[in-house]
Amino acid sequence: MPEEATIPAVSGLVPSTTIALIFYHVAFKHPDTRISAPAVMLTGEYIRLFVQEAVLRANELRLRETKLIPAQKSCSDAEIENLKASQNLGEEEDLEEDFDEYRGLGVATQLENEPPLLNVLEARHLAAVGGLLLMDF
């Protein structure tokens, strides 16, 4: 195991030991290959940024869906798309501008006066943004 595995975790998201072990077991072909402490720390920062961006994008999608779906109805993805298509295009552009305010740290990411069940970030939200997120990184 690499000796740099004792580096403290970056912002507590992923322990540096885990990052070093991933490099050691997955990326390195020779057991004597080492990774420097700054490289492990930078990798941890990339992971933190990736996870943060994934959550922000997924939450933005959740907020958009919640605004378009009546509060008492549970819809499938196809029904959501049909509902979006039936909306006025001008309103869609306004929604784009409105939701820019929700993005970022320290900014409200919950809908006010909504039932708690609508304020849930689900795996489908993360899955929906995953492909483009990977391409962006």
55-59, 86-90, 109-113: which has the minimum mean pLDDT? 86-90
Query: What does the mean pLDDT of the chain come to?
Result: 73
Q: With 0-12 CB in 10 A as exposed, 13-18 as middle and 19+ as buried, what is 93?
A: exposed
Mean pLDDT of 120-137: 89
Mean pLDDT of 38-46: 92
Q: Where along the chain do its domains lie? A: 3-136
**Whether residue 5 has pLDDT greater than 50:** no
**Whether residue 47 has pLDDT greater than 50:** yes
CA separation for the pair 37, 54 (Å, rounded): 26
Contacts of 9 (CB under 8 A, 6+ apart): 15, 16, 44
3-state SS, residue 14 = strand
pTM: 0.57
Choose between 2 and 114: higher pLDDT: 114
Segment 71-91, tens digit of pLDDT = 445 556 666 666 666 655 445
**Whether residue 62 has pLDDT greater than 80:** yes
- Quickly count: other Cβ atoms within 10 Å of residue 23's Cβ: 19
